[in-house]
């Protein structure tokens, strides 16, 4: 290694970029030895020592010319499903200080040039660049340095300063859901930047034991998934920081919470879908579990405070979270045939300006025949298969009103699919108001209706997220649902 003495000419960002990116081959290395206090070498009296591999040195390329950039935004490799623009626009609206926010996809080879130009006021950083950006910074917060990941960069007079606001998002997500790591054993799934953030948070909150879980053991304090199932089933809190279960591969699940009998809390950093398979499996067992949407909103609020250098009211994050949750979440109506699902759903759709879909009507359109004909010609199993296919299709969308058939919830796969992006509301209607219907083969007489309700009522109760007593007008029922969902 060749020692290079930093003389104070040029920022740490420029020096480290040129060593790591311009003057070093892919196999070369650069190392910065910090001396003194502060984050900016220009503010230090003690010289900064830099070392680089001798065989990797090449001439330094000329500085890049500035191009027209953005004021605020998010950089990452793939951003088609990001919520960040929506969140920051809402923050600007709530604070009365709107600011432009863009999504900018960058390839790995473009990150250095983008940061070197520094043609922005503030940016957020998402995977896979939360570690990549660090060498380009003039300063980094103690917290971000400890975690080893940066998700927010602020440009102050041409100098770039990095922060980790994911820390506050993860912390507040745990606290909001009353998941307290103090004195508990915690498993963190994954070893990336978000995993480091989770580790720092639960450590600061007093966790007794912390283990990261990875497919292959790579570092101290890390165990494999097999080892977790063999030796760590006494874990009390699980935090998933991997993309397993994220859209579009929404059926993925990194492990089964049922193997952890002492589990009392589960967090999944994934926010699309709103509830992953992992979260749903925990909730089935009565374990408090939550996805990552609230974390995303909170970290954005803290980032905005850094962008604008102004404190934001405490309630803003909660209000934005509820707004986005309401706009993204499907309202799924379940209950007996003739309990008012389609009529009430139509009223809700008109009130909220949403699209309403009726699964029975979709099947009739696709099959080009009535339900009675489907049952008579192909049987109930054929109909249920067609119903499941329609539900899978609708469940992957957002912001719908979905009216389901009376027997849709009999299949667990349908319930799980609908819950991922939806809130299931059971319309509990008095038997006296549920009339037989000729086009419903299983409920075309009063006797069949009564028998079916007795059989299905416990199922409706078990699978729903909430219910209303639907004994009034469709408008009254719709208002009850809006109140239930805080819309």
**CATH architecture designation of domain 179-287:** 3-Layer(aba) Sandwich (3.40)
Amino acid 68: pLDDT: 60
Mode of pairing for the β-strands spanning 101-105 and 72-76: parallel
140-184 per-position pLDDT tens digit: 999 999 999 999 999 999 999 999 999 999 999 999 999 999 999
* Catalytic residue chosen out of the listed positions 90, 121, 130, 184: 130
Tell me the CA distances in angstroms from 40 to 133, 142, 160, 405, one per residue in order: 16, 13, 10, 64
Enter the CATH code of domain 67-173+292-327.
Answer: 3.40.50.10860
Q: To the nearest whole percent, how much of the chain has pLDDT over 90?
A: 75
Mode of pairing for the β-strands spanning 422-428 and 209-214: unpaired
User: Do the first three CATH levels of 67-173+292-327 and 329-484 match, i.e. the same topology?
Assistant: yes
Tell me the CA distances in angstroms from 174 to 181, 182, 195, 481, one per residue in order: 9, 11, 14, 28
Assigned superfamily of 329-484:
P-loop containing nucleotide triphosphate hydrolases (3.40.50.300)
Answer whether residue 3 shows pLDDT above 50: no
Say what the pTM is.
0.83
Look-up of token digits 């899978």: 392
Amino acid 286: pLDDT: 95
284 part of the active site:
no
Amino acid 444: pLDDT: 78
Q: To the nearest whole percent, how much of the chain has pLDDT over 70?
A: 86
Q: Where are the domains of the chain?
A: 2-56, 67-173+292-327, 179-287, 329-484
Query: In sequence order, what are the beta bridge partners of 72?
Result: 101, 122
Answer whether residue 104 shows pLDDT above 60: yes
Task: Give the alpha-carbon dihedral of 369, 374, 421, 82, to 10 degrees.
Answer: -50
Answer whether residue 67 shows pLDDT above 90: no
Answer whether residue 66 shows pLDDT above 60: no
């Amino acid at each position: 290694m060749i020692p290079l003495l930093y003389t104070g000419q040029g920022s740490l960002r420029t020096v480290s970029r040129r060593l790591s990116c311009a003057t070093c081959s892919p196999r070369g290395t650069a190392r910065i030895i910090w001396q003194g206090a502060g984050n900016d070498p220009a503010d230090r009296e003690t010289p900064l020592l830099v070392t680089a591999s001798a065989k990797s040195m090449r001439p330094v390329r000329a500085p890049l010319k500035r191009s027209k950039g953005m004021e605020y935004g998010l950089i990452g490799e793939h951003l088609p499903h990001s919520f960040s623009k929506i969140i920051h626009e809402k923050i600007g609206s709530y604070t009365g200080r709107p600011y432009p926010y863009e999504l900018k996809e960058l390839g790995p080879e473009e990150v250095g040039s983008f940061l070197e130009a520094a043609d922005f006021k503030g940016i957020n950083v998402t995977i896979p660049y939360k570690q990549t950006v660090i060498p380009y910074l003039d300063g980094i917060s103690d917290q971000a340095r400890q975690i080893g990941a940066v998700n927010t960069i602020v440009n102050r007079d041409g100098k770039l300063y990095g922060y980790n606001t994911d820390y506050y998002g993860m912390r507040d997500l745990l606290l909001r859901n009353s998941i307290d790591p103090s004195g508990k054993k915690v498993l963190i799934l994954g070893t990336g930047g978000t995993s480091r953030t989770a580790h720092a948070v639960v450590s600061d909150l007093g966790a007794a034991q912390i283990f990261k879980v990875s497919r292959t053991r790579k570092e101290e304090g890390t165990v494999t998934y097999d080892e977790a199932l063999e030796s760590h089933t006494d874990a009390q809190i699980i935090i998933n920081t991997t993309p397993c279960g994220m859209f579009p591969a929404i059926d993925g699940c990194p492990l089964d919470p049922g193997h952890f009998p002492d589990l009392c809390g589960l967090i999944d950093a994934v926010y699309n879908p709103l509830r992953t398979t992992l979260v749903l499996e925990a909730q089935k067992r009565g374990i408090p579990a939550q996805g990552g949407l609230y974390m995303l909103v909170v970290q954005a609020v803290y980032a905005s405070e850094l962008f604008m250098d102004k404190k934001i009211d405490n309630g803003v994050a909660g209000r934005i979270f509820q707004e986005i949750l309401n706009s993204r979440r499907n309202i799924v109506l379940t209950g007996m045939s003739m309990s008012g699902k389609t009529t009430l759903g139509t009223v809700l759709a008109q009130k909220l300006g949403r699209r309403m879909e009726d699964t029975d009507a979709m099947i009739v359109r696709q099959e080009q025949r009535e339900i009675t004909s489907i049952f008579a010609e192909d049987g109930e199993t054929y109909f249920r298969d067609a119903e499941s296919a329609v539900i899978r299709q609708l469940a992957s969308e957002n912001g719908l009103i979905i009216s389901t058939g009376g027997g849709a919830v009999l299949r667990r796969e349908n319930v799980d699919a609908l819950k991922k992006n939806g809130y299931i509301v059971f319309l509990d209607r008095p038997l006296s108001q549920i009339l037989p219907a000729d086009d419903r083969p299983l409920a075309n007489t009063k006797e069949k209706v009564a028998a079916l309700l007795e059989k299905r009522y416990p199922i409706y109760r078990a699978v729903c997220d909430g219910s209303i007593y639907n004994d009034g007008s469709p408008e009254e029922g719709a208002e009850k649902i809006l109140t239930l969902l805080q819309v």
